[in-house]
């Protein structure tokens, strides 16, 4: 009788505190891409119990990722994750529900490497489950150009002066963003009329370059005369503009 009571108490304890975590897959992959491209993969984290599952933190063993966590298509949290950045999250997944985590691989370009290499990483999800309080998944990365520098991390938005300037027929515009964000980059004349849209999409944190080629713009039916133009970037609350000169 005493053993039965102990067993019953164990069942009650598990039913109250027995949060159960599982994931849609145990490996996220970033394969066969060039370093100038964006790489992302996602998983679903499932709460298989009748109690709330809390994700306390997520961190990686080696490399940097930008994470977006959503529930029912609504963004819950987003942050930059790496081995030295264990940020408290306090993300709760309701009973018998799930959350989606999108991983964006962050690889600054330092120097070229001619031989493709497979890198592996371990991502740990700290949670309050009984069955697996540190849920680990594997990340596989096939980098075909460039190497990693984990010490590089931009801390602010920067719009650099284009080069060359004056230019004909093309010039390069460089900008830096500290977090994954939507970026628009447009060209205007001195009267404020929009000449071209060079960028209108989300970008991962890091240093980016966009080439403004007047020949390509002309191919779209835009005729540009010699003169002074303005390029403007917008990303979140950040806005910046600079002038450059097209000299034919």
pLDDT digits (tens, 9 = 90+) for 34-80: 444 557 899 999 999 888 999 999 988 877 788 889 999 888 888 77
Bridge partner residues of 213 (DSSP) = 170
Return the minimum-mean-pLDDT range out of 7-16, 122-131, 161-170.
7-16
Confidence of residue 222 (pLDDT cuts 50, 70, 90): low
In a domain, 152, yes or no: no
- Of 108, 143, 178, the domain-final residue: 143
Alpha-carbon gap, residue 207 to 18, rounded angstroms: 45
Query: Does residue 53 sit in helix, strand or coil?
Result: strand
Indicate whether 184 and 96 sit together in one domain: no
Indicate whether 135 and 176 sit together in one domain: no
| CB-based contacts of 115, cutoff 8 Å, min separation 6 | none
Return the pLDDT at 99.
96
In 105-135, which positions are buried (b, 16+ CB within 10 angstroms) versus exposed (e)?
A: bbbbbeeeeeeeeebebebbbbbebeeeeeb
pLDDT at position 17 over 50: no
Indicate whether 104 and 196 sit together in one domain: no
In a domain, 16, yes or no: no
Return the minimum-mean-pLDDT range out of 3-7, 17-21, 59-63, 237-241.
3-7
Q: What is the reported pTM?
A: 0.55
Indicate whether 239 and 179 sit together in one domain: yes
- Of 143, 173, 193, the domain-final residue: 143
Indicate whether 32 and 139 sit together in one domain: yes
| Phi/psi at 77 (5° precision) | -160, 150
What percentage of the chain exceeds 70 in pLDDT? 75
In a domain, 108, yes or no: yes
Indicate whether 80 and 178 sit together in one domain: no
CATH code (residue 139) = 2.60.40.10
In a domain, 237, yes or no: yes
Indicate whether 166 and 241 sit together in one domain: yes
Bridge partner residues of 244 (DSSP) = 229
Indicate whether 188 and 126 sit together in one domain: no
Query: Does residue 63 sit in helix, strand or coil?
Result: coil
pLDDT at position 4 over 60: no
Return the pLDDT at 180.
80
- Of 115, 143, 171, the domain-final residue: 143
| CB-based contacts of 91, cutoff 8 Å, min separation 6 | 54, 55, 69, 76, 77, 99
Bridge partner residues of 66 (DSSP) = 80, 104
pLDDT digits (tens, 9 = 90+) for 168-220: 989 999 898 888 889 999 999 999 999 999 999 988 777 888 999 888 754 45
Bridge partner residues of 57 (DSSP) = 126
Total domains, the chain: 2
pLDDT at position 154 over 90: no
In a domain, 13, yes or no: no
108 or 14: which leads in pLDDT: 108
**Can you give the residue range of the structural domain that contains 70?**
25-143
pLDDT at position 158 over 60: yes
pLDDT at position 97 over 90: yes
Indicate whether 124 and 200 sit together in one domain: no
CATH code (residue 216) = 2.60.40.1930
Confidence of residue 104 (pLDDT cuts 50, 70, 90): confident
- pLDDT, mean over the chain: 79
Indicate whether 131 and 178 sit together in one domain: no
């Amino acid at each position: 009788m005493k053993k039965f009571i102990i067993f019953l108490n164990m069942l009650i304890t598990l039913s109250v505190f027995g949060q159960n975590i599982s994931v849609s897959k145990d490996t996220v992959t970033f394969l066969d891409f060039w370093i100038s491209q964006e790489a992302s993969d996602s998983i679903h984290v499932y709460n298989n119990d009748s109690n709330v599952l809390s994700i306390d933190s997520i961190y990686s063993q080696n490399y940097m990722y930008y994470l977006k966590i959503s529930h029912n298509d609504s963004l819950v949290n987003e942050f930059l994750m790496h081995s030295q950045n264990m940020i408290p999250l306090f993300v709760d997944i309701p009973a018998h529900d799930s959350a989606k985590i999108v991983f964006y691989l962050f690889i600054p370009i330092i120097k070229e490497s001619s031989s493709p290499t497979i890198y592996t990483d371990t991502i740990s999800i700290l949670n309050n489950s009984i069955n697996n309080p540190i849920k680990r998944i594997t990340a596989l990365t096939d980098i075909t150009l460039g190497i990693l520098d984990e010490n590089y991390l931009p801390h602010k938005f920067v719009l650099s002066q284009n080069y060359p300037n004056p230019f004909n027929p093309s010039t390069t515009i460089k900008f830096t963003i500290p977090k994954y964000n939507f970026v628009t980059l447009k060209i205007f004349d001195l009267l404020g009329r929009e000449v071209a849209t060079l960028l209108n999409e989300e970008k991962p944190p890091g240093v980016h370059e966009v080439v403004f080629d007047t020949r390509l713009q002309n191919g779209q039916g835009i005729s540009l005369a010699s003169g002074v133009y303005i390029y403007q970037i917008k990303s979140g609350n950040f806005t910046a503009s600079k002038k450059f000169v097209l000299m034919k």
